[in-house]
Structure 1
């Protein structure tokens, strides 16, 4: 049964290296800010605006999301999830599986290697060679969020 659900997978944009504070507090670089705005424009041009977002609580993911949303015609609802920071792919699927069935397009904003693993879980014919900062994958799901799992849907890399 095809439900028309879309999952957008977004790795945060370029962040500072050598930051004095904690990893959780790292901010975007100027390049990262531009990348995040381009992601918002890309999603708008592709008519792929999320209804809801699950975003890691790290500063760099929050900044990426905020800057991307500046370029979108409407703002989605957002859950900032501490569990998404340093999460493995199973934790991300746990978060996706409890999303309300009324949500048509969901975006997850997080970190590598998990975002790359999540995108790769839906690629059919080609291996994922890299998933650099500000990469976006779009997954068309064949099931409701409750049943989202690796291989249940197909992905394409947008950037």
Structure 2
């Protein structure tokens, strides 16, 4: 099985006075990022590789979430993820090495939400229902695929096995 885990960056500071790319996390975003990392580790979701947008808020989200793993998975920063459309994100996924079975992507909306819609054929009914309501900051979507190489993945072939938000987990950080 291949597993794609999508983590939307945690709550960031308002855009002024810095540009969007350089925005840091707000205090509640820092809490959420750390908590979502703990949730992943507690669920046994340990990425073999991480690909992360180069934006400051995604880098900080991963830095805080990664503290839940020992050792932290190797991360690659890829600016194509910043403000990317679902199709671009899918291309990044398809480029991953075949020895990666669990891939974590840390990115931005609306691309992350659109990628789930592009890839998920179905899922647990309560998970799909929660996903369809909102994809808030620091939310995590877990997509499971048959064991085919990343390059061979096709649209509408994933099972949405989990979707969690900080609020859903009782983390004061959404």
Same fold (TM over 0.5): yes
Q: Contact (CA 8 Å) 2:33, 2:62: kept in 1 or not?
A: yes
Report the counterpart of residue 44 of structure 1 in structure 2: 41
CA distance in 2, matches of 1:158, 1:74: 24
Partner of 1:134: 138
Residue 86 (structure 1) shift? 1.2
Equivalent position of 2:159 in the other structure: 154
Selected match of 2:105 from 100, 108, 124: 108
Distance 2:38 2:159 in 1: 23
For residue 114 of structure 2, give the secondary structure of its aligned residue in structure 1: helix
Three-state SS of the structure 1 residue aligned to 2:133 is coil
**Cα separation, partners in 2 of 1:45 and 1:15, compared to 1, 3 Å:** same
The residue that corresponds to 1:144 in the other structure is 149
Normalized against structure 1, the TM-score is what?
0.93
Cα deviation, residue 123, structure 1: 5.4
**What pairs up with 1:10-89 in 2 under 5 angstroms?**
10-89=7-86
Gaps of 5+ in 1: none
Distance 1:46 1:78, change over 3 A: same
Q: 1 or 2, which has the higher helix percentage?
A: 2
The alpha-carbon deviation at position 119 of structure 1 amounts to 2.0
Q: Which residue of 2 aligns with 1:94?
A: 91
Aligned-residue CA RMSD in angstroms? 1.3
CA contact (8 A) 1:44 1:73 kept: no
Structure 2 regions of 5+ residues with no counterpart?
Answer: 166-174
